[in-house]
Structure 1
Amino acid sequence: MNIKHLLATCLAATAFFTACKDSPNTTDPDPIDQMGSLYSVWATTEKGSYILTTSSLMKDTLLSPKDNKGIDITSHMPAAFYAIYAYNHHGKFYLSNDGKRFSQFEVINGSQWKETNSLSFANPFFMGKVLDNISTAEELVLTKTAGTTNKEKNVLEQPIYYMNTRDMSINKTLNVEIPMIKYTPKQANGENDDPYIVPTSMTVRGDKLFVGHKYRSHITKLDIIDTAYVYVCDYPSLANGKIIKDPRGGFTAGHWEINKTTFLDDNNDLYVMTRRTNSSSYGLLRIKNGETSFDPNYFFDLKDYNVFKNSSSLIQKLGAGKAYISPYVLDPANKKVIADLRILIGGGESRTTMNFMENGKLYDVFKTDESKWYVFEYNPETNTVKRGAQIDPGVNTVYHVNKLR
Structure 2
Amino acid sequence: MNKQFLQSLLLLSSFSLFVSCDETTTNETQPNVETGFVVGIEAATGTDVLITVDTITSGTISPIKQGIEQPAWMSFYAAGNMVLTTGYTSDNILTGYEFAGENAQLVATGQLVTDHGIFAATNVNENEFLAVGTPREGFEDRVIYSIDKPSVSISERFLTKIDERKALDLVAFPTGILQRESKVYLSYYLMGSGAVVPAFATPLSDSARIAVYNYPSMEFDKYIKDDRTSDIGNYTAKTALQEDENGDIYTFSTSSNATGFYPTPTKPSGFLRIKSGATAFDQDYFFNFEEKSGGMKINNAVYAGNGKMVVRTVTDDSQLWGTYGPNTETPVCSITIADLNAQTVTKVEDVPLHGGEWGIAHLVKDGKVYLNISDSKGGYIYEIDPETATAKKGAKIDGHYAKGIFSLNKN
Verify: 1:223 aligned to 2:202, yes or no.
yes
Gap change, CA 1:62 and 1:318, over 3 Å in 2: same
**Equivalence map 1:341-356=2 (5 Å):** 341=348, 343-349=349-355, 351=357, 353-356=360-363
Task: Answer yes or no: is 1:373 the counterpart of 2:369.
Answer: no
Structure-2 separation of matches of 1:306 and 1:55: 35
**Cα separation, partners in 2 of 1:90 and 1:167, compared to 1, 3 Å:** same
Q: 1:100 Cα deviation (Å)?
A: 4.2
Counterparts of 1:34-49 in structure 2, within 5 Å, are 36-47=34-45, 48-49=47-48
- Equivalent pairs: percent with the same residue? 20
Alpha-carbon distance in structure 1 between the residues aligned to 2:213 and 2:384: 37
* Contact residue 346 and residue 368 of structure 1 kept, 8 A: no
Q: 2:131: which partner in 1?
A: 142
Please state if 1:334 is matched with 2:338: no
Name the aligned partner's letter for residue 95 of structure 2: S
Shift of 1:146: 4.8
Structure 1 residue 162 and structure 2 residue 142: aligned?
A: no
Q: Equivalent of 1:128, from 119, 128, 131?
A: 119
Superposed displacement of residue 261, structure 1: 0.8
The CA deviation at 1:167 is: 1.8
1:244 matched to 2:224: yes
CA distance in 1, matches of 2:219, 2:117: 27
Equivalent of 1:116, from 100, 109, 114?
109
Shift of residue 119 of structure 1? 1.4
**Mapped partners of 1:126, 1:197: distance in 2:** 15
Number of residue equivalences: 333
Distance 1:253 1:368 in 2: 23
Which of 292, 296, 299 lines up with 1:305 in the alignment? 296
- 2-structure distance, mates of 1:196, 1:368: 33
CA displacement at 1:229 relative to structure 2: 1.9
Q: Any residues of structure 2 matched to 1:6-405 within 5 Å, and which? A: 36-47=34-45, 48-59=47-58, 61-66=59-64, 68=65, 70-71=66-67, 73-74=69-70, 76-77=71-72, 79=73, 83=74, 85-97=75-87, 98-106=90-98, 114-121=107-114, 123=115, 125-132=116-123, 134-136=124-126, 138-146=127-135, 157-176=141-160, 178-181=162-165, 184-185=167-168, 194-219=169-194, 220-221=198-199, 222-225=201-204, 226-238=206-218, 241-255=221-235, 257=236, 259-276=238-255, 277-278=261-262, 279=264, 282-303=269-290, 304-308=295-299, 315-326=301-312, 327-337=335-345, 339-341=346-348, 343-349=349-355, 351=357, 353-367=360-374, 371=377, 373-392=379-398, 395-405=399-409
In structure 2, the CA distance between the partners of 1:289 and 1:365, relative to structure 1 (3 Å rule), is same
TM-score normalised by length of structure 1: 0.70
**Structure 1 residues 368-392: Cα deviation after superposition (integer angstroms, max 9, x where no partner):** 79x3532222233444323322223
CA drift at 1:316: 2.7
Give the TM-score normalised by the residue count of structure 2. 0.69
Larger mean CA deviation between 235-244 and 197-206 belongs to 235-244
The structure with more radius of gyration: 2
- How many Å separate the matches in 1 of 2:275 and 2:94? 36
Task: Name the SS for the 1:38 alignment partner.
Answer: strand
List structure 1 runs of 4+ shifted beyond 6 angstroms: 107-113, 147-150
TM-superposed CA distance for 1:242, in Å, is: 2.0
Are residues 208 and 273 of structure 1, via their aligned partners in 2, closer, same or farther at CA, if it must alter by over 3 Å?
same
* Whole-angstrom distance in 2 between the partners of 1:51 and 1:233: 34
Q: Match for residue 153 of structure 1?
A: none
Question: 1 CA distance for matches of 2:79 and 2:220?
Answer: 32
- 1:356 Cα deviation after fit: 1.0
Q: Contact 2:132–2:174 at 8 Å: present in 1 too? A: no
Gaps of at least 5 residues in structure 1 are: 1-34, 151-155, 186-193
Which residue does 1:191 correspond to in 2? none
For residues 237 and 113 of structure 1, what CA distance do their matches in structure 2 show?
A: 34
Whether contact under 8 Å (1:350, 1:365) holds in the other structure is no
Give, in angstroms, the shift of residue 216 of structure 1. Answer: 0.8
Distance 1:258 1:141 in 2: 15
